[in-house]
């Protein structure tokens, strides 16, 4: 038994090594690789993915897992959960033929490269065949993994266990019913919020200093966390001692990168504070995409867009941008940071209209995966839904269907977790408020108690608990989305004087 | 036979993938990885190195190589040379026990991490046990690989085939005999060269723009070549479409990074212009360390420190640093860029005294590998040789024995190739001058004909020719170091009015 555990841990270390290397290759490709480097990258990613796949479906691993799970009671908690996770994963993976998996990885790498060129060029036609290929792979993979489920449910389940179209259809209908009235009220009778003072040139080399400052306020240890620059910001990590966030600086927009850093910083805090006992273990990461997004959106919206936070960071902003922010008060900044208006770009959407963007993607993904919509028809369908849900016309694919990196990364079923994450975040915030006075602490720039609370209730567990368990553990009650609609209704009614 | 070739090429692609991944991990660690990331990196490097080692010594590869080399006449040139290279490499590798090789890779990764902390902290004691370990490994590896040779000759041979202590002892004695008189004459009766106008603050964000400009003048295609920032500049590449140079910016020194970029740019041009038929082949890289250094030092010294080049780039420098360079003329800059004075730091040494720095390292490496000098005694021996060869006192280990990254990277026997490279470069320059008027072209900023000449004579061959063949191919005569001493004597006699 001891020998099996030793061999199992050695096997995990090997699997971790391939994921680590593939992760660094991906991060490097997005941040610093010269463009033509993509030509040689696909082959390398293919070779490493093949070995990674082989390791996670290896007969010797199956045999070790069998021994371990037959002796479940004799295992420590971490080893037991590792064995359970890998066993589930193995079952899923074994159903995908290896050659198809490797071919998919290469197709994905190529699609990503093409998307990087197609987006700025407004060239959906160039990207379309690659997207069609990825959807085809994903649909087939869904069928292999969970033949008993509709394909899109199988994909949703990968990112948030147990999430289904049935739940989401009801969830979005509810949010739409409660939040659309607020959105309409703002359009009709909300006060006008001035954001003109943000339309200036904010030199990027100074914005970089602001990023450093925000990361420091957020208690992010830079010895364990780097920041890179990319087209579409994301966070990745290889273990709790090496996390990478990214941002995109716009010279004419101060708050875009500011909130990217706060958002990605939330993801980073989760990873940085997983338990030491899970270092380099497959369990040493976030429990699910939804829980991960709850943390990024908690920091971005609930903390980062609070008046307390903006009052605290304002002096630093003034120091960096004295001339640009002349005559601006923290309250003006607070209102500007929370202005709500239907818009084109998801990542720059306000907190209130954000879920409408997710709904567009949700409806389209459902149809793409079900084969009810072709990739050729996609831009038109995208534009129609933006008109329907957000009331606006999409002027080009750059700001339309090409705006997100997710689909070029083969991620279908991921978007809904952003919305679910926001709902989790509101509920977590309500629970946290019972223990500590968050606005008072944030107003003094003391985020450590907030991070400590989250570490105690959520972060340290990594994947040791399932999403539903974590929410109940942190909040004392099961998941309840009304915290979300209550929070938004209250916040936006105050801001807009409804 | 066709099937063997197909399998051989697939095996090469796999080997290439691991080298590619390990290369990116290394580059990432040096440029962007957060410091604590080193803790999890060693394990990953160990796993990939083990597989990389397994592939290069795999029984199926041995059998393929046997078949291929028995049918040598039926192979195209590239496949034949690939088989020869790998066969030699395999013989060498097979002599190193796998566990020792893997343990070495991890020890090297750790030594590198420690050196990064020890250098700024002037803490040789922290680095010393790691260095001792690496030397021990290298000495043993030398014995495994070439038991018939003195250990240091075996190490030299890795970087420059056929190079021996016998050759180098004579070579350095000759250089010392011819160049020391010039160095002494400058000290006694050379004109004083003013460099005070370089002791200013040159903002790093502007220096970054200068780097972009220099790379453009050098005809370096940025779609295939990135630039990163590190402690000690180096160049790495994964294939001709993805080359990475690095530099280190000093806010109070304009020329340090400037010449790092020109130097590393020379390495990059070589890799970028290897033949398309060698893309992702093990032959698609420089022929040897000496030839590689000949290119970096050709661009750094012969082109980059020529009056023609500095006259051409001067307007751009003025544009970026108008206030800082007020009253400076291109000729003043030329003299300043070529000021010769014994100094502490190899990478910032002038062209004339540079080989003295190499001689120090050469003498020390010989003794360390022979076991005639311990790592504990090394700083004292280093300081003594700097006094003897360069006439200066070393104030601390940061600027002494800890200054270079090579030893922490396990590279012993590499340094002499810098000096040999300079000698190659002078001979190549003399041959090039017969075909094209280099200073006239450089004065107009037209470096393309220079790069084309080098591509035609050297670059495109990659590893298809051996160093000695390449020199004879480019120059029409075998290697002759007197071009080097002639070139330096002439250049420095003029500059100093001897």
User: Is pLDDT above 90 for A208?
Assistant: yes
What is the average per-residue pLDDT within B377-388?
96
Q: What is the pTM assigned to this prediction?
A: 0.86
Whether residues B37 and A238 touch (CB distance < 8 A) is answered with: yes
Strands A235-239, A242-247: pairing is antiparallel
- What's residue B170's pLDDT? 85
Q: What is the C-alpha to C-alpha distance for residues A403 and A232, in angstroms, rounded to an integer?
A: 9
User: Rounded to whole angstroms, what are the CA distances from A93 to A54, B183, B215, B374, B403?
Assistant: 10, 69, 46, 53, 49
Cα-only R_g, chain B: 23
User: Is pLDDT above 90 for B35?
Assistant: yes
User: Rounded to whole angstroms, what are the CA distances from A478 to A167, A421, A456, B139, B203?
Assistant: 15, 14, 18, 64, 56
pLDDT in tens, A327-385: 999 999 999 999 999 999 998 899 999 999 999 999 999 999 999 999 999 999 999 99
B456 CB-near residues (< 8 Å, 6+ apart): none
Closest-CA residue to A248 (of A27, A31, A29): A31
Residue at token pair 């002037």? B122
pLDDT in tens, B88-100: 888 888 899 988 9
**Closest Cβ–Cβ partner in A14, A28, A280 for B40:** A280
User: Is pLDDT above 90 for A468?
Assistant: no
Contact A207, A249 (CB under 8 A): yes
Contact B427, B484 (CB under 8 A): yes
Q: Which of helix, strand or coil describes residue B236?
A: strand
Cβ burial A99-126 (10 Å sphere, 16+ → b, else e): eebbebbbbbbbbbbbbbebbeeebbee
Structure tokens that stand for B2 in this block:
């066709």
Contacts of A243 in chain B (CB under 8 A): 34
Whether residues B238 and A40 touch (CB distance < 8 A) is answered with: yes
Q: Calculate how close chain B gets to A467, using CA atoms only, in Å.
A: 27
User: Is pLDDT above 90 for B184?
Assistant: no
- What's residue B341's pLDDT? 92
- What's residue A385's pLDDT? 94
**Closest Cβ–Cβ partner in A13, A226, A241 for B39:** A241
Which of A397-406, A479-488, B219-228 bottoms out in mean pLDDT, i.e. has the lowest?
A479-488
Beta bridge partners of A225: A243
Mean pLDDT of the residues in chain B: 95
Whether residues B27 and A28 touch (CB distance < 8 A) is answered with: yes
Structure tokens that stand for A13 in this block:
């270390």
User: Is pLDDT above 90 for B174?
Assistant: no
User: Is pLDDT above 90 for A48?
Assistant: yes
**Closest Cβ–Cβ partner in A20, A33, A223 for B242:** A33
What is the average per-residue pLDDT within A71-89?
94
- What's residue A203's pLDDT? 94
Q: Calculate how close chain B gets to A20, using CA atoms only, in Å.
A: 7
Contact A382, A360 (CB under 8 A): yes
Whether residues A39 and B226 touch (CB distance < 8 A) is answered with: no
pLDDT in tens, A254-288: 999 999 999 999 999 999 999 999 999 999 999 99
- What's residue A291's pLDDT? 96
**Closest Cβ–Cβ partner in B21, B37, B41 for A25:** B21
**3-state DSSP percent of chain A in helix, strand and coil, to 5:** 70, 5, 30
Catalytic residue among A30, A82, A110, A264: A264
User: Is pLDDT above 90 for A18?
Assistant: yes
User: Is pLDDT above 90 for A406?
Assistant: yes
User: Is pLDDT above 90 for A126?
Assistant: yes
CB-count exposure of residue A315 (10 Å: 0-12, 13-18, 19+): exposed
Strands A235-239, B225-229: pairing is unpaired
Contacts of B228 in chain A (CB under 8 A): 32
- What's residue A461's pLDDT? 97
Contact B290, B420 (CB under 8 A): yes
Closest-CA residue to B59 (of B94, B19, B88): B94
pLDDT in tens, B189-215: 999 999 999 989 999 999 999 999 999
What is the average per-residue pLDDT within A443-467?
97
Annotated catalytic sites of B, by residue?
A: 264
The chain B residue lying nearest A50, using CA atoms, is B14
Confidence of residue B232 (pLDDT cuts 50, 70, 90): confident
- ipTM for the predicted complex: 0.85
Q: What is the C-alpha to C-alpha distance for residues B473 and B458, in angstroms, rounded to an integer?
A: 8
Contacts of A44 in chain B (CB under 8 A): 16-17, 20-21, 238
């Amino acid at each position: 038994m001891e020998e099996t555990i030793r061999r199992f841990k050695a096997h995990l270390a090997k699997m971790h090594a391939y994921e680590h290397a593939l992760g660094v290759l991906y991060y490097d490709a997005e941040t610093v690789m010269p463009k033509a480097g993509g030509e040689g990258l696909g082959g390398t990613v293919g070779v490493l993915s093949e070995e990674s796949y082989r390791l996670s479906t290896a007969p010797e691993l199956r045999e070790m897992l069998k021994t371990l799970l037959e002796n479940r009671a004799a295992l420590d908690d971490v080893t037991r959960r590792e064995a359970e996770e890998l066993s589930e994963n193995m079952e899923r993976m074994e159903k995908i033929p290896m050659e198809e998996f490797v071919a998919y990885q290469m197709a994905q790498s190529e699609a990503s490269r093409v998307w990087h060129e197609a987006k700025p060029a407004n060239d959906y036609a160039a990207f379309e065949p690659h997207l069609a290929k990825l959807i085809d792979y994903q649909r087939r993979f869904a069928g292999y993994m969970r033949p008993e489920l509709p394909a899109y449910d199988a994909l949703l389940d990968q990112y948030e266990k147990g999430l289904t179209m049935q739940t989401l259809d009801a969830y979005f209908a509810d949010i739409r019913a409660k939040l659309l009235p607020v959105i309409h009220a703002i359009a009709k009778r909300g006060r006008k919020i001035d954001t003109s003072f943000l339309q200036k040139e904010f030199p990027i080399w100074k914005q970089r200093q602001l990023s450093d400052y925000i990361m420091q306020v957020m208690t992010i240890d830079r010895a364990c966390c780097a920041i890179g620059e990319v087209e579409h910001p994301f966070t990745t990590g290889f273990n709790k001692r090496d996390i990478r966030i990214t941002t995109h600086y716009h010279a004419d927009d101060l708050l875009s990168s500011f909130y990217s850093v706060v958002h990605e910083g939330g993801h980073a805090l989760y990873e940085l504070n997983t338990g030491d006992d899970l270092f380099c273990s497959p369990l040493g990461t976030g429990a699910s995409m939804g829980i991960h997004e709850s943390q990024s959106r908690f920091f971005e919206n609930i903390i980062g867009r609070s008046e307390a936070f903006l009052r605290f960071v304002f002096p630093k902003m003034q120091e960096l941008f004295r001339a640009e922010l002349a005559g601006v008060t923290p309250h003006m900044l607070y209102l500007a940071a929370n202005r709500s208006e239907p818009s084109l770009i998801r990542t720059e959407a306000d907190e209130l209209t954000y879920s409408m963007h997710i709904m567009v993607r949700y409806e389209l993904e459902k149809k793409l995966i079900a084969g009810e919509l072709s990739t050729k028809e996609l831009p038109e369908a995208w534009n129609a839904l933006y008109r329907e849900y957000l009331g606006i016309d999409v002027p080009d694919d750059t700001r339309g269907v090409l705006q997100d990196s997710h689909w070029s990364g083969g991620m279908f079923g991921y978007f809904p977790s952003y919305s679910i994450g926001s709902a989790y975040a509101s509920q977590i915030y309500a629970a946290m408020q019972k223990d500590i006075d968050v606005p008072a602490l944030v107003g003094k720039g003391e985020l450590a108690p907030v991070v400590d609370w989250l570490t105690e209730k959520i972060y340290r567990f990594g994947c040791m608990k399932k999403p539903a368990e974590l929410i109940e553990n942190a909040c004392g009650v099961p998941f309840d989305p009304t915290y979300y609609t209550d929070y938004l209704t209250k916040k936006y009614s105050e801001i807009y004087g409804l």
